[in-house]
Amino acid sequence: MPFGAELLERGAGVEFRVWAPEARTVELVLNEESRVKLSADEDGYWVARVASAGTNTLYRYAIDGRKEAFADPVSRFQPRGPLGPSQVIDPHAFAWTDAAWSGVQLPGQVIYELHAGTFTEAGSWEAAKTKLPHLRDLGVTLIELMPVADFPGAFGWGYDAVNPFAPHHHYGPPDALRAFVDAAHGMGLGVILDVIYNHFGPSGNYFRDFSPYYFARRETEWGTALNYDGPHSRAVRDYVCENAAYWLREYHMDGLRLDATQSIFDASEEHILTELARRTRASAQPRSIVLIAENEPQDSRLITHVERGGYGLDALWNDDFHHSATVAMRGVREAYYFDYRGRAHEFVAAAKHGPLYQGQYYAWQKKRRGRPSATLPVHAFVAYLENHDQVANSARGTRAWQEAQPGAHRALTSLLLLGPWTPLLFQGQEWSTPQPFVYFADHESGLAALVHKGRREFLSQFPSLAERAVQERVPDPGARATFEAAKLDWSESLMTAHGQRSMALHRDLLQLRRSDPVLALGTTGRARCEAAVLEDHCLALRYYAADGDDRLLLVNFGQQLYFRPAPEPLLAPSADRRWQRHWSSEDPRYGGAGTPAGPLDAEGWRIPGFAALLFTSERE
């Protein structure tokens, strides 16, 4: 890297380089003992070559003669956490076996989001690696890791990281993460990483001691924004772009999920996200990568080509789909669910256009939301019934299946996994885990109390959660019990009948998505897809094949429907063909009641309630 601690060739020691443009002196503290003065270099950097240093050397930096010394902002590892010394790491020591891996492209991906600390009981990369066969057999193709950059404390979500280049020390050493990615590639699974470039965490944050220019004069919800367009911002931009490239280069990640991009502020001629995408793709060559953005307003410019005035990313999280599905399953419209009806027309719009809000007035925020996406493929939008935020925002961390009518949940799961968007599952969703997932963060006592208070205040926007008695039951984010409760119990998928049925549903749906020739084309945008409303709670989704061998998906998340007559063209079979039911979410293997034979009759359609049905087109 152009900065940090770099091993020199032929055992000649280590070059240390750090940015501190306002410092008068910078000293390197080696192994908590000796001090070495760094020399001022160009553009505010300080540098020293130390022949006696090598792999595993511990070090910190002292600024302007201060006794206190700090971890390297570019540390590759913090064996004792952010409050301890940095460690020199040899990034080339690991023996990779994925030379034939060519990377990933977005069409056809099925994403699985996981948190390394709760994905297994051990909460380590070594333990997570043992679960990769499960994900492969499930039908997942792309693992999305919640943030892994180091943060203080024993547990946390990772969005308060303060060592962006150092994997969290409690999950294992750097090579354990490399081994996880290498093993995933060996099983045909891609891995992308959630990264945070809008702020740094509050605890163990020493960036300002090195330079105040890391920060802008604007605030985000979580802390001071980073400086991408002010004085000395070139170094900050290089820092962030190098961090993005680093995860792909040294850990063979297949892309990034960029957190809360609405809080990345930049008025430069080339936006930092555009520069990051350009430099990251160049660094990853010849492998292909995917860059996915979270953006609360769902601004489609982020995934529009640069030549058309966009930022050049690949995909955008689609909260609209989640909010519609949640209202459909729970029947509750409050807080940020207020502007959704949970009706069939919203899912039809999602199948045609992606986000629902593309510039219309959004009553909850009292302003317009979104931008048009007419030129963008639907698979560029990531849809989900659960993710880390939305599960946690239920206050008690309850999962979607626990608050939904079972048949409706199965039907909407079918729509999620057979629809034209890119689907995302959250850890344990495949077996309908009862394990809660709420916000947890191991801060020191004063900050922990503020975080708990802030969490209660955030959840109070939901009238159903605003009562004092409910607020008092919001789990304490700083309690270890909150973290421990979120750990997946893998026996759920093997021991309970409900878990086995849910696993079968998800596995069969992903098998259909992958192996059915028409669905495989339709869900990657290579075959025409059309959708139509049949009734308020029922929709039709049709994938067209060149030879008339079409697929028809009916999704009914309401009462049984008698559709007579049936003046909807999507229900008409191709010439000289007839519809044949191929699959039903009401199969008893999934916990359903079974589907009556022949939902078709001479006069129209009889569509079971709370069910999804897939039809193939058979020759008469």
DSSP state at residue 108? T
The tokens of 101 are what?
């891996």
- What residue has token string 């430069």? 268
Taking alpha carbons only, the member of 417, 563, 430, 397 closest to residue 504 is: 430
Give 542's strand partners: 530, 552
CA atoms within 13 Å, Cβ hemisphere of 321: 32
Give DSSP secondary structure letters for 456-503: HHHHTTSGGG-SHHHHTTSPPTT-HHHHHHTS--TTHHHH-HHHHHHH
> How many whole angstroms separate alpha carbon 362 and alpha carbon 372?
15
User: Which position among 259, 386, 516, 550 bears the catalytic label?
Assistant: 259
User: Which position among 144, 150, 250, 294 bears the catalytic label?
Assistant: 294
Helix (H) or strand (E) holding 606: strand 605-607
Q: What is the CA radius of gyration of the chain?
A: 26
Q: How far is CA 519 from CA 176, 457, 509, 543, 617, in A?
A: 37, 44, 11, 7, 13
Does residue 450 contact residue 516 with C-beta atoms inside 8 Å?
no
Does residue 443 contact residue 152 with C-beta atoms inside 8 Å?
yes
C-alpha torsion sign, points 266, 271, 277, 279 = negative
Does residue 566 contact residue 539 with C-beta atoms inside 8 Å?
no
> How many whole angstroms separate alpha carbon 56 and alpha carbon 48?
17
> Beta strand 86-87 with 561-563: parallel, antiparallel or unpaired?
unpaired
6 is catalytic: no
Q: How far is CA 483 from CA 174, 238, 427, 446, in A?
A: 23, 35, 15, 19
294 is catalytic: yes
> How many whole angstroms separate alpha carbon 240 and alpha carbon 227?
11
Helices (H) and strands (E) in the chain, counts: 16, 29
Taking alpha carbons only, the member of 114, 182, 120, 122 closest to residue 148 is: 114
Helix (H) or strand (E) holding 469: helix 468-471
Taking alpha carbons only, the member of 383, 356, 350 closest to residue 372 is: 356
> How many whole angstroms separate alpha carbon 330 and alpha carbon 344?
15
> How many whole angstroms separate alpha carbon 564 and alpha carbon 473?
50
> How many whole angstroms separate alpha carbon 261 and alpha carbon 49?
38
Q: What are phi and psi of 553, to 5 degrees?
A: -110, 125
- As a three-state string, the secondary structure of 238-277 is HHHHHHHHHHHHHHCCCEEEECCHHHCCCCCCCCHHHHHH
Q: What are phi and psi of 513, to 5 degrees?
A: -60, -35
Does residue 476 contact residue 440 with C-beta atoms inside 8 Å?
no
> Beta strand 224-226 with 315-317: parallel, antiparallel or unpaired?
unpaired
> Beta strand 39-40 with 4-7: parallel, antiparallel or unpaired?
unpaired
Q: How far is CA 100 from the centre of its chain?
A: 26
- List the catalytic residues: 259, 294
